[in-house]
């Protein structure tokens, strides 16, 4: 028994020692993974460069936190304020615009809170708060959560009460709750369009500069984190910002809708 | 109801189609869980038996502690192992975070208290039964522990199966230390969590059905093996 256990243990640990070829860890927001973007573009990058990209998909807050622990080479997030802090703290030399889409307000098909008729997202959210129409929030310090809080703030509201629920989970789990509890929620458009459990929920408000959703990419500074694979990280960052990377992002569509519109300033 | 039957159909289709991604995920789940349980048994059997047989100050406290640790929250274990293995943490230079080895470490911590506690109970019961005989033979403490462990080997299967069940079903710890990386650290439970997040509920449920079937199959084979061996010994 003991001998068998030891053999099994060695067999388990051995492959790790051997598999130390070129790979990087990408700390990422969840929407880019849940929507299927990485499955679509990363194989192309790996085929071109031989570098494997291992994606850890968590909320933007946790992605930046993990990267500042040096547990990753590259971050893709959508929280400009938190990204600026990351750069200011010296974890990355700069942030690069990568791509964009927008946030949308989703809710029950019959729209009891009448968000549709609002002139802008701020008044739509005021409608919901005034009528205490149930709303679920990510509550997890993610890019989407932080944007939602900004919107309440712009509306001069501090949402609280039994109509406002914080799920403290990812976008997908929150959407499942929104559908299950028949409530409103703020989500990024890509996750919503690719979400498989929409049932009778639909987009009730979209558009306006307040709902712009900018994704950025940053390489962790090797001076701050000496152990990382900075060379491969740099190749990946450059590829994502290059024409081939941007074209790969643009070719990820649903029907004829581009889910993430590439907008790097070139590199 | 329709999504339940859809899930059953999907699970059957997945198994029949021999989807290589699915088998990769199942294989990794089994590899991680079996390794964690094997290590936990290696530590837990002798430790549990020692707790049952030896008398020392603080023994009662230790037993209570081990019993309580059976309820360790996986997410807390995951977070602790994350901080230990993190590049800036004490074991950072080993570069083990986001590898199967990290997931084995986390699951070993979760499973070991279960194996220790159940072993202690099994051995303590057997010890009461054997007490006079062993004493008449002037067996040393070490010999006693060895004899009891050997004679309890069939009952101890239950301890390892309980540990296995815990490890196979657990998602909180492996999600944090493994990162659910496709083709690297994605296992059954983290796949189910991901499919749920994508709103692909019938796919998630289908994977769940496969995981439960796997657990039943393992327990059934353990039961059969156990009774076969038992028959050979006691016949």
Query: Measuring CA to CA, which residue among B108, B96, B93, B95 is closest to residue B32?
Result: B108
A23-100+212-262 and A102-211 agree in CATH topology: yes
Q: Cα-atom radius of gyration of chain A, to the nearest Å?
A: 21
Look up tokens 């796997």; give the residue: B214
Complex confidence, ipTM: 0.83
Distance from the A7 Cα atom to the nearest Cα atom in chain B, whole angstroms: 10
Q: Can you name the CATH fold of A23-100+212-262?
A: D-Maltodextrin-Binding Protein; domain 2 (3.40.190)
Q: Which CATH superfamily is domain A102-211 in?
A: Periplasmic binding protein-like II (3.40.190.10)
Q: Report pLDDT digits (tens) over B45-54.
A: 999 999 999 9
pLDDT band at B2 (very low <50, low <70, confident <90, very high): low
pLDDT attached to residue A9: 52
In this complex, do B38 and A5 lie within 8 Å of one another by their Cβ atoms? yes
Given an 8 Å threshold on Cβ–Cβ distance, is A12 in contact with B200? no
Query: What's B174's domain CATH number?
Result: 1.10.3720.10
Tally of domains within chain B: 1
Q: In chain A, what residues touch B198 (CB-CB under 8 Å)?
A: 34, 172, 194-196
In angstroms, what separates the C-alpha of B36 from chain A's closest C-alpha? 9
What is the pLDDT at residue A16?
Answer: 45
With an 8 Å Cβ cutoff, are A194 and B179 in contact? no
What residues make up the domain containing B207? 2-234
Chain B residues with CB within 8 Å of chain A CB: 31-32, 34-35, 38-39, 41-42, 86-89, 92-93, 95-101, 104, 179-182, 184, 194, 196-201, 203
**Domain segments of chain A as ranges:** 23-100+212-262, 102-211
pLDDT by residue (tens digit) across B159-213? Answer: 999 999 999 999 999 999 999 999 999 999 999 999 998 988 889 999 999 999 9
- pTM passes above 0.95: no
Q: Is A219 helix (H, G, I), strand (E, B) or coil?
A: strand
- Minimal-distance CA residue of chain B relative to A4: B38
Query: Closest chain B residue to A30 measured between Cα atoms?
Result: B197
Instruction: List chain B residues with CB under 8 Å of A57.
Output: 180
The answer to whether residues A170 and A140 touch, using CB atoms and an 8 Å cutoff, is yes
Phi, psi dihedral angles at B30 (to 5 degrees): -65, -40
Using an 8 Å CB-CB cutoff, list chain B residues near A34: 194, 197-198
Q: Looking at beta carbons, which residues of chain A come within 8 Å of B184?
A: 54
pLDDT band at residue A20 using 50, 70 and 90 as cut-offs = very low
CA distance A130 to chain B (A): 30
Radius of gyration (C-alpha) of chain B in whole angstroms: 21
Q: Which long-range contacts (CB under 8 A, 24 or more apart) does A242-248 make?
A: A242/A267, A244/A44, A244/A48, A245/A41, A245/A45, A246/A99, A248/A40, A248/A41, A248/A44, A248/A45
How close is the nearest chain A Cα to the Cα of B57, in Å?
30
Mean pLDDT, chain B, whole residue set: 93
Give A-chain residues touching B95 at CB under 8 angstroms.
227
Are the Cβ atoms of A176 and B196 closer than 8 angstroms? yes
């Amino acid at each position: 028994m003991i001998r068998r256990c030891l053999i099994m243990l060695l067999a388990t640990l051995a492959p790790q020692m051997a598999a130390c070829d070129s790979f990087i860890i990408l700390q990422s927001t969840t929407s880019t993974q849940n929507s299927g973007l990485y499955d679509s573009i990363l194989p192309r990058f790996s085929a071109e460069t031989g570098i494997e990209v291992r994606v850890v998909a968590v909320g933007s807050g946790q992605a930046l936190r993990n990267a500042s622990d040096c547990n990753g080479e590259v971050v893709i997030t959508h929280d400009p304020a938190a990204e600026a802090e990351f750069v200011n703290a010296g974890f990355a030399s700069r942030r690069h615009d990568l791509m964009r889409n927008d946030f949308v307000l989703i809710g029950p098909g019959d729209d009891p809170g009448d968000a549709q008729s609002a002139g802008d997202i701020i008044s739509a959210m005021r409608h919901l708060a005034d009528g205490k129409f149930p709303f679920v929030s990510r509550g997890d310090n993610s890019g989407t959560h932080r944007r939602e809080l900004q919107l309440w703030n712009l509306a001069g509201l501090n949402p609280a009460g039994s109509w406002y629920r914080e799920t403290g989970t990812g976008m997908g789990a929150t959407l499942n709750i929104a559908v299950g509890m028949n409530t409103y929620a703020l989500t990024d458009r890509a996750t919503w369009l690719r979400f498989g459990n929409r049932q009778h929920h639909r987009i009730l408000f979209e558009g306006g500069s307040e709902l712009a959703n900018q994704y950025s990419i940053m390489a962790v500074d090797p001076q701050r984190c000496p152990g990382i694979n900075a060379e491969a990280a740099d190749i990946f960052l450059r590829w994502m910002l290059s024409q081939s990377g941007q074209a790969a992002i643009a070719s990820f569509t649903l029907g004829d809708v581009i889910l993430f519109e590439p907008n790097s300033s070139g590199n | 109801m329709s999504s339940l039957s859809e899930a059953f159909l999907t699970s059957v289709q997945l198994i029949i189609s021999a989807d290589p991604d699915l088998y990769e995920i199942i294989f990794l789940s089994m590899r991680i869980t079996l390794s964690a349980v094997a290590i936990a048994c290696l530590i837990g059997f002798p430790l549990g038996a020692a707790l049952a047989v030896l008398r020392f100050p603080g023994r009662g406290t230790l037993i209570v502690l081990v019993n309580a640790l059976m309820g360790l929250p996986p997410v807390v274990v995951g977070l602790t192992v994350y901080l230990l293995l993190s590049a800036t943490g004490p074991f950072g230079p080993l570069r083990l975070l986001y590898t199967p080895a990290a997931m084995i470490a986390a699951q070993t911590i979760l499973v070991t208290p279960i194996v220790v506690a159940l072993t202690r109970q099994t051995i303590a019961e057997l010890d009461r039964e054997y007490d006079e005989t062993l004493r008449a033979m002037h067996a040393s403490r070490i010999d006693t522990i060895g004899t009891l462990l050997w004679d309890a080997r069939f009952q101890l299967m239950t301890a390892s199966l309980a540990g296995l069940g815990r490890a196979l079903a657990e998602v909180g710890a492996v999600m944090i230390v493994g990162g659910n990386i496709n083709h690297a650290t994605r296992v059954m439970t983290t796949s189910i969590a991901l499919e749920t997040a994508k709103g692909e509920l019938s796919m998630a449920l289908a994977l769940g059905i496969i995981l439960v079937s796997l657990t039943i199959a393992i327990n059934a084979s353990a039961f059969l093996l156990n009774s076969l061996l038992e028959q050979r010994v006691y016949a």
